[in-house]
Amino acid sequence: MSLPPFPSTSGDKPADLHVYTIEQCQNCSQKTKRDFKVGDLVMGEAGICEKCQGKKTIISIYGEKDLTKTGRRGLWPR
């Protein structure tokens, strides 16, 4: 089952967005950003922390305007 795209308030088309997942370790609170994968759910388990071997949880999923066409980078390193 696929969901319809959610409305954009900025006028961006879904193809102009790159979707990311933010994970946070429950033990050391380290946050990591990665590309979204189908099946990611907010508050879902995200694996093991590379720093302390604690459990990671997905805390956010969001889209950023894809700036690769203009050569500019987003705020987070990739």
C-alpha of 45 from chain center: 14
In a domain? residue 54 = yes
Domain count, the chain: 1
In a domain? residue 73 = no
Are 29 and 66 in contact by the 8 Å Cβ rule? The answer is: no
Owning domain of residue 29: 15-65
Are 65 and 20 in contact by the 8 Å Cβ rule? The answer is: no
In a domain? residue 10 = no
In a domain? residue 70 = no
SS3 call for 16: helix
In a domain? residue 8 = no
pLDDT tens string 1-59: 455 555 555 555 556 788 999 999 999 999 999 999 999 999 999 999 999 999 999 99
Region 55-78 average pLDDT: 74
- Confidence band of 73 (pLDDT split at 50, 70, 90): low
pLDDT of residue 65: 83
In a domain? residue 34 = yes
| Chain position carrying tokens 């050391």 | 28
